[in-house]
Amino acid sequence: MNGEAKPRGVLWAGRLAEKPGAEAFAFQSSLGVDRRLAQQDIAGSRAHAAMLGRRGIIPPETARALDGELARLAEELASGALAVDGGAEDIHSFIEGVLTERLGDAGRMVHAGRSRNDQVAVDFRLYLKEAVPGARDELGETIRVLLDRAEEHAAAVMPGYTHLQRAQPVTLGFHLCAWACALDRDRGRLGDALGRLDECPLGAGALAGSGLPLDREDTAKALGFARVSLNAMDSVADRDFALEIAAAVSIAMTHLSRFCEDLVLWASGEFGFVDLTESWSTGSSLMPQKKNPDFAELIRGKTGRAAGNLVTLLTLLKGLPYAYNKDLQEDKEALFDSLDTLRSCLRMFRGMLSAAVFNLGRMRAACTGGFLEATDAADYLVRKGLPFRKAHETAALVVRDCLEAGEDSIARRSLGDLRRRSALFDEDLYAALEPEACVKSRNLPGGSAPEEVARQIEALRRRV
Ligand code: ARG
């Protein structure tokens, strides 16, 4: 042993007489990250040991002893009675090391027909089978909060924007419902990835399977996998599941980031659409008046991490020769971070949104004065038989007339003035141009009419 490293459970001591020094050993150890997989590693070992016993590869009493000790280990780790010590190379070496310290040769039997390459693939998948539904539930919970707030404000008119220029009146409920639709797709993406990752690599060995009479169906079933993987080499080389989840998380974070950008704008004095409340804001160390939307900004900022983690994984895999390479050890830190980040950001976003106080008066006021009713004026003429292109031009000329006359709304123009542009304009135009009327008229599927938004909310509620 070179230097002071005397790690528990180095699994390859037979081959290498010289060992890395302490710093080098620590550099290649993944224990700090994969200690999170301890329970999954134990579950995998229990299934594997029981199968080895059933197949007569190890004596039945050895299988029983292994199972008992592994169960004890799981409890001790959960209660903190046993600490994962820093000396092991990874969680797999640590667990096998403890087993061997406690059981001697029985501990040395557990790895028959197995490699850390299939073991880590199993552990990682088992972990994700728990963690990803958790993230999905957080998305569902966030959608529910959005829908509650959307329902509350289904009829509250506000400007809808394109190019960040006021475009047409919508409702706050409609806008929040749009956000919920995006998060619903994120749930779907995570669900799709879960379906594909639900296969058991155990039995793939290092890369080529095993000559021992393992029963792969047995371990897959014991671990709750839907099926065994098809090809051993693919099973240890594949990290598509990590990529898919990192991509889905990155998309979800990008959604949150965009919502937060809206909130940051809305919370500004210039918009004044929302008060994010004092408990969801922070102050300035210098400027006494400040109340900053830091939570929204930080969620937006953390989106960079999720994108970075996805790029980390893509870069890790690009150019990686088949099958396993130690590079793959870097996969877990990136994906753990993505999932942790998404979950904490969803919790913060929910809290902030539940508390937010919307300034409905400011939103309503912002619907007048920006010609948001111009499309409805054109549609009015279309309803009266004018070809749309002509109707568009007429409404545009009316807008120009208003601007020249210093008027900020088509509704403020007299009927006489309007009729100089088209004889089709009539008294009923004024009612049609009220923001509430504009919104109400868009009652087709997907539209912003309150009763249609209620239907959208209902559809989303059914999905979550
Ligand atoms: N700690 C390793 C990882 O996370 C486990 C697999 C190691 N396999 C090996 N042949 N070195 O990828």
Indicate which atom in ligand 1 lies nearest the CA of residue 33.
4
Indicate which atom in ligand 1 lies nearest the CA of residue 90.
1
- pLDDT at position 144 is 98
Mutate which of 35, 96, 117, 235 to test ligand 1's pocket (most atoms within 8 Å of Cβ)? 117
- pLDDT at position 280 is 85
Tens of pLDDT, residue by residue over 117-146, are: 999 999 999 999 999 999 999 999 999 999
Residues framing ligand 1 (Cβ under 6 A): 30, 34, 90, 116-117, 120, 324, 326, 328-329
- Name which residue sits closest to atom 2 of ligand 1, judged by CA: 329
Distance 344 CA to ligand 1 centre (A): 29
Distance 107 CA to ligand 1 centre (A): 19
Residues of the chain with pLDDT under 70: 1-9
Prediction pTM value: 0.93
Domains delineated in the chain: 22-112 (1.10.275.10), 117-362 (1.20.200.10), 374-456 (1.10.40.30)
Distance 32 CA to ligand 1 centre (A): 13
- pLDDT at position 8 is 61
What is the percentage of the chain residues whose pLDDT exceeds 70? 98
Distance 326 CA to ligand 1 centre (A): 6
The catalytic site residues sit at: 163, 284
Indicate which atom in ligand 1 lies nearest the CA of residue 34.
4
- Name which residue sits closest to atom 12 of ligand 1, judged by CA: 329
- pLDDT at position 323 is 94
SS (H, E, C) the chain: CCCCCCCCCCCCCCCCCCCCCHHHHHHHCCHHHHHHHHHHHHHHHHHHHHHHHHCCCCCHHHHHHHHHHHHHHHHHHHHCCCCCCCCCCCHHHHHHHHHHHHHCHHHHHCCCCCCHHHHHHHHHHHHHHHHHHHHHHHHHHHHHHHHHHHHHCCCCEEEEEECCEEEEEEEHHHHHHHHHHHHHHHHHHHHHHHHHHCEECCCCCCCCCCCCCCCHHHHHHHCCCCEECCCHHHHHHCCHHHHHHHHHHHHHHHHHHHHHHHHHHHCCCCCCCEECCHHHCECCCCCCCCCECHHHHHHHHHHHHHHHHHHHHHHHHCCCCCCCCHHHHHHHHHHHHHHHHHHHHHHHHHHHHHHCEECHHHHHHCCCCCCCCHHHHHHHHHHCCCCHHHHHHHHHHHHHHHHHHCCCCHHHCCHHHHHCCCCCCCCHHHHHCCHHHHHHHCCCCCCCCHHHHHHHHHHHHHHC
- pLDDT at position 288 is 80
